[in-house]
Amino acid sequence: MGIGYATAYRAGIVPWEKAALEDRPTLERLLNREEAARPTGVRSAIDLGCGRGAATKLLLDRGWDAMGVDNVRQAVDVAVHRNGLDDARFVIGDVRHLVHSGVGTGFDLFLDIGCFQSLDEAGRTLVAGNVTELAKPDATVLMRTGGPRAWPVRPRQVLIEDVRRAYRGWTVEAVTGAGSGNTGPGSRASGGRHGEWFRLTRP
C-alpha cells in the first residue's frame, strides 16, 4: 500500500485529491449529520490514510478535535506545512495497527476516504478491529470508496458485504454518494465517478 502511494506523491501524481475535492459537498453534508447528532462537547475524529491532510484540515476547521494518520512520511510532512498545522495533529503510522500508534482512544468519528479500498482482505479486517477498539460506543465510520481512476494502484472492488465482513458488529448503510441507489447485499461501491459512501454505526 505505502510503496504505491509514496511513488505517486514523489511523482506528483495525486488524482485522488482531485476526486476528493469534487466530492467535498457530499462529505460536508455527511459531517453536518454527525455534528447535529453531537451538538455539545468535544467531537474527536481520526482521518485514516490522511495523505496531505485536506480532510483533516476540514475537520479541524469545523471544530472537530481531529488527527490524521498515514504511513507515507512525505505526505504527512506536506500536510503539516501546507495546512499550517501543528505536527502533533498527524501520526506517521499504519492504519492496520492504530492501537499501537499512539493516537489515543475514545473517538467519535473515523473518516476513511479510499483507505479501506486500498487494503487486501486481511488488512481490511485489521483496520476494522483497530477502529472498533478505539471507538466510542456511539462512534461512526464514514467511508468513501473511489472510482477506478481515483487511486495510484488498481483499486480492489468493494461491495457492501466486504465492509460488513470486515466491520463485524457494526451496522453498514450505503448513504448519499455517486452511485445508483442500490444498497442491497452485493451492490457495488467502487464504480462511481466521485466515489460512494458508507456510514457505519454500532447497533
pLDDT of residue 166: 97
- Least trusted range by pLDDT, from 11-15, 143-147, 190-194, 196-200: 190-194
What is the Cβ-side half-sphere exposure of residue 48, based on CA atoms within 13 angstroms? 29
Answer CATH for 2-201 from 3.30.390.50, 3.30.470.20, 3.40.50.620, 3.40.50.150: 3.40.50.150
- Please determine, for residue 82, whether its predicted confidence score (pLDDT) is greater than 90: no
How many angstroms separate the CA atoms of 23 and 86, rounded?
26
How many angstroms separate the CA atoms of 134 and 108, rounded?
9
- Please determine, for residue 4, whether its predicted confidence score (pLDDT) is greater than 80: no
**Closest C-alpha to 88, from 105, 59, 66:** 66
- Please determine, for residue 52, whether its predicted confidence score (pLDDT) is greater than 70: yes
pLDDT of residue 188: 43
pTM, to two decimals: 0.83
**What percent of the chain clears pLDDT 90, i.e. is strictly above it?**
51
Residues 169-196: what's their mean pLDDT?
Answer: 59
pLDDT confidence tier of residue 74, bands split at 50, 70 and 90: confident
pLDDT of residue 121: 93
**Closest C-alpha to 101, from 70, 77, 76:** 70
Residue type, 76: V
- Least trusted range by pLDDT, from 20-29, 34-43, 106-115, 142-151: 142-151
| Residue 133 to residues 68, 80, 129, 170, 191, Cα–Cα distance (Å) | 17, 27, 6, 12, 30
Task: Read off the pLDDT of residues 13-23 as tens digits, 9 standing for 90 and up.
Answer: 565 666 667 78
pLDDT confidence tier of residue 148, bands split at 50, 70 and 90: very low
- Please determine, for residue 3, whether its predicted confidence score (pLDDT) is greater than 70: no
Inter-residue contact 4 to 152 (CB < 8 Å): yes
Question: Domain segments of the chain: what residues?
Answer: 2-201
pLDDT confidence tier of residue 5, bands split at 50, 70 and 90: low
